[in-house]
A = this chain, B = another copy of it.
Amino acid sequence: MSKLVIVGTVAFDAIETPFGKTDKILGGAATFIGLAASHFDVDAAAVSVVGGDFPQEYLDLLVNKNINIEGVEIVKDGKTFFWSGKYHNDMNSRDTLATELNVLEHFNPVVPEAYQDAEVVMLGNLHPLTQQSVLDQMTKKPKLAILDTMNFWMDIALDDLHAVIKNIDVITINDEEARQLTGEYSLVVAARKIHEMGPQYVVIKKGEHGALLFHNDHMFYAPALPLEEVFDPTGAGDTFAGGFAGYLAKTEDYSFENMKNAVIYGSTLASFCVEKFGTERMQNISKDDVEYRLKEFKRLTQFNIELS
């Protein structure tokens, strides 16, 4: 069974959408990535940090999903990272109401020894130096290193970001971030420029408009499943990344052809994530739910034009 190292925040979120608002609930990139990856037969370990205020039941939840949490440091007298945001009516834009770094400010990720030879490393959105330090701890070059990032690091740590981007295989990034990183409006041209920065594979996430996978001159596109109601988009991008990474780790096939399937699995899992607040929906998806929705994706996208 492949090992998958997941680095990212384990956090509190407080979310407001047109449908309602929550108190502090479970959130964080590593949480969403882990919950999505847990749908695949992989040996996943989360590397993160929380404060003494973090409820044991949240940690138990991860453990019950077969996510190893040996690498989740608990800073007894510290407070857990907290993010709060409010979504606008169109659900495509949001205002950040609060960001309290807390224990994240001095986070030094430690990859448990048993996972330092993991086949797949998923570097969730964190400071690029933190992401690099995880790569540096791997005793064996991973078969696949995937990195997610955001515009914030382009603003304040662009050189560090460029340095770590050189060392990874796949980058997942949203459309606006791809444009910011390259100065190119066309996503095709932006992806080519990102290739030149290092990654062999570029995934551009377009939210409700789906995701594009680029590899040299090859492109693949997966739509987001059109839904009657998007309840809370928080975590959808991380869920996509977790499904993508989990599927590849399970199948141990890192070819472009198989990455197409990984993108479909990522999109499928993300389509559940947005149906309820926070991780609520992700905690309770069955194998049948996933299978059924994959069939919906097939019906949504597959056609039969015979070509010569």
Q: Which residues of A contact B (CB under 8 A)?
A: 89-90, 185-189, 206, 209-210, 212, 218-221, 223, 226-230, 257, 260-261, 264-265, 291, 294-295, 298-305, 307-308
Contact = CB atoms under 8 A, between A and B. Distances in A.
B210 A219 contact: no
Contact of A219 (B187, B230, B299): B299
Contacts of A264: 303, 305
Q: Please give the count of copies of this chain that the complex contains.
A: 2
Contacts of A212: 226
A105 B218 CA distance: 49
Nearest to A209: B209
A299 B220 contact: yes
A250 to B, nearest CB: 13
Given A89-B185, A261-B304, A291-B307, A299 B227 contact: no
Contacts of A228: 186, 188-189
Contacts of A229: 186, 189
A227 B300 CA distance: 22
B220 A226 contact: no
15 contacts: A186-B228, A186-B229, A188-B227, A209-B210, A210-B210, A220-B301, A221-B223, A221-B226, A223-B223, A257-B304, A260-B304, A265-B305, A291-B308, A294-B305, A294-B307
Contacts of A257: 304
Contacts of A304: 257, 260-261
Contact of A299 (B185, B218, B223, B303): B218
A226 B206 CA distance: 13
Contacts of A295: 307
Contacts of A301: 220-221, 301-303
A58 to B, nearest CB: 31
A303 B261 contact: yes
Contacts of A294: 305, 307
B305 A261 contact: yes
A300 B188 contact: no
Nearest to A295: B307
Nearest to A214: B226
